[in-house]
């Protein structure tokens, strides 16, 4: 029996940067809808309808939300 399980939080892209104290940078990350697809229990690639939240930050406990 195969069960499809989807996690609530997934890493879909990252860019490692280094900042000095007080420095800021603009970081450009390009994500497409293809990166939000996953395989269902029948191994069909699917994109679920609905809103997605993009989170940016160092750790899950301290992040900013962008919609």
Residues 22-56 have pLDDT tens digits of 999 998 888 888 888 888 888 899 988 888 777 77
Report the pLDDT averaged over residues 18-22.
91
Residue 34 DSSP SS3? helix
Specify the pLDDT at position 60. 52
**Domain edges within the chain:** 33-66
Angle at 14 between CA 13 and CA 18, to 5 degrees: 170
Write down the pTM of the prediction: 0.53
φ, ψ of residue 10 to 5 degrees: the values are -135, 145
Specify the pLDDT at position 21. 92
Would you place residue 63 in the very low, low, confident or very high pLDDT band (cuts 50, 70, 90)?
very low
């Amino acid at each position: 029996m195969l069960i499809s399980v989807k996690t609530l939080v997934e890493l879909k892209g990252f860019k490692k940067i280094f900042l000095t104290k007080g420095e800021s940078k603009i970081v450009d990350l390009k994500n497409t809808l293809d990166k939000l697809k996953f395989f269902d229990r029948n191994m069909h690639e699917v994109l679920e309808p609905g809103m997605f939240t993009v989170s940016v930050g160092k750790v899950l406990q301290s992040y900013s939300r962008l919609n």
